[in-house]
Amino acid sequence: MSPGGIEKYDDNDKKWESLLRISEEAHTATNIEEFVATIHGILADLVVATNFFIGLYDESSNRYFFPYFVDENDSIETTGISFVYDESLDVTLYDLSGTLTDYVRRTCKPLRFPNEKIKDPYESGEITLFGSQSTSWLGVPLKFSDNTLGVMAVQCYDSSDAYSVKDEELLVFVSDHIARAIESVRAEEKIRKQHMLVLEQKQAITDSIKYARRIQKAALPSPVYIDNILSDYFTVYKPKDIISGDFYWVREIEGYSVVIVADSTGHGVPGALMSMLGVTLLNEQFRTFGIRQPGVILGHLRNKVKEILAQEGSANDQSDGMEMAIAIIDLEKKELQFAGANRPLFLFRKKEQLAGAERIPYSSLENDDYELHVINGDKQPLGVHWEEKEFTNHLIKIREHDTLYIFSDGFVDQYGGEKRKKFKTSNFKKLLLSVQAESMENQKKLIVDAFEKWRDNHEQIDDVCVIGVRL
C-alpha cells in the first residue's frame, strides 16, 4: 500500500473512531457542559474548530442566546451552557436577523461560506455581518423532529482553511446528537421547573393551612380553661391532616359543665371549615338560649346547619353536616343529660356502686370491677336527613367516680393490625374497660399508645377526638 493510501486509511479510521466517541458521549452524558466541551474537543481533531459556537433561537423575542461560544477574535455573553432561556438567566439576547446564523435556522439547511450561491446577497448587504469577518464559515441547523432549535457553527480566519462537503456531513452528524441532548435537557428542565412550581404551590398551601391551624387551635378551649371546669379529664385530639373536622367544646354555663365532641363531614380544609361553623353555632346557641336539654340544642343546631348550607331536603342537597355528642353535667343534682347525633356516650361505673343505685338500662360490657353502659344517640346527623325526628334527651343519675367518654368515629374506624382491619367499637369498649383502674392521665397515654400500635405503618384515615371525664 502506498504511503498516501496508508495516510488515507489512518484518517478514515480516526474519523470513525471519533464519530463513535461522539455517539457514546451523547448517550452517556450526565453533565451537559462537559458533553459540549468534549464534543468540541473531538471536532477539533477532525475539522478546523478553534472557533465554535451554539446559538439557540428564542421564539418569544425573535432573538438568539449562546449556551456555548469559543472564538479567538470575538467574545459573546453565554448562558453558562443553559439550553433553556428564561428571564432569570439575566444574559443578553442577540438580534441576528439577516446573518448567516439566522439564514441557516430559517432555511433549515447547512451552509458553507465562501459559497457562490450566498456570495451575492452577502456582498449586497442582504446578509449582514455579525462579529469579525471570517474567511470560512460552516453552520448546520440543530433540528429535533420538525423543530429547528438553533444553529451550530465553526469558522476560521485563515484564508488557507476552507470547509469541505465532508466537513459539512460531519457537522450534520454531530448536530443530530447535540440537538437530541439539548431537547433532553430542555425536557428535564421543564419537568424540574414544573416540580419546583408544584413545591412552591404546595409550600404556599401548607403555610396557609398551618396558619389556619393556629386559628382553629385558638377556637378550641385551652387546657388551662378546661382545668377550671373539669377536675379530672383527658383529651385526645389527632387531626388526620394539619387541620381537623373534629372539634371539642367545653363550657361552664349556669353551674352546669357542658362537654361536646363533634365530627364534621370530611377532614382537612373542608372539615375544618365545617368545624369552625360548628364552634360558631354552639357559641351562639348557648349565648342566646343558655342551658337547655341537649336534644333541643341538637334540634336547633340541625336547623341552623340546614339553613346555612341551603339544605332543603331535595336529592341534590349536599350531605354535609356534623355528628355530635352533648353531655351536660349537673354535679349538684348528680345528673347527666345526654343527646347524640349519630354519636354515643360510654359511661363506666364501679360495680361496688351499683348496689342501691338507680339502674342504668344500657349495660353493654363488664369485668370484675367495672360495668360499661352505652347510651346511644339518634341515627341522624346535624344536617339534612331522609327521616328527621326530634333528638332523644337522656337523663342519667350519676355517682361519684363514674367516668364518661364521648368521641368521634376516627378511632374505631382506623385501619391497622396484621390484616388491616378497622379497630371497631367492640375493641374500643374493651380498651376503655381495661384502663378504668388507671388515672385519667395514664388512660390518655394508654389509649394513644393503643391507637398508634394498631395503626403502625398504615395511614391515619380520619381525624380522631376522644374526651374522657371522671366525675
**In-domain check, residue 207:** no
State the pLDDT at residue 105: 94
CA distance 435 to 441: 11
Question: Which of 143, 145, 146 shows the shortest CA–CA distance to 174?
Answer: 143
CA distance 94 to 75: 13
State the pLDDT at residue 42: 84
13 and 145 together in one domain? yes
Give the CA count within 13 Å in the CB-facing half-sphere of 179. Answer: 20
271 and 149 together in one domain? no
State the pLDDT at residue 173: 86
234 and 284 together in one domain? yes
Question: Which of 179, 134, 193 shows the shortest CA–CA distance to 36?
Answer: 179
**How many structural domains does the chain have?**
2
CATH value at residue 72: 3.30.450.40
Reduced to 3 DSSP states, what percent helix, strand and coil does the chain have, rounded to the nearest 5? 40, 25, 35
CA distance 471 to 462: 29
Question: Which of 266, 261, 320 shows the shortest CA–CA distance to 294?
Answer: 261
State the pLDDT at residue 6: 37
Omega of the bond leading into 270 within 30 degrees of 0 (cis): no
CATH value at residue 312: 3.60.40.10
181 and 235 together in one domain? no
**In-domain check, residue 209:** no
The boundaries of the domain holding residue 128 are 3-192
In this structure, the number of other CB atoms found within 10 A of the CB of residue 18 comes to 17
The stretches in the chain having pLDDT less than 70 are 1-14, 26-33, 80-89, 115-122, 312-319, 353-364
Residue indicated by cell numbers 433532553: 184
**In-domain check, residue 89:** yes
CA distance 114 to 141: 18
CB-based contact 306:318 (threshold 8 Å): no
C-alpha cell at 171: 457537522
State which H helix or E strand residue 237 sits in.
strand 233-238
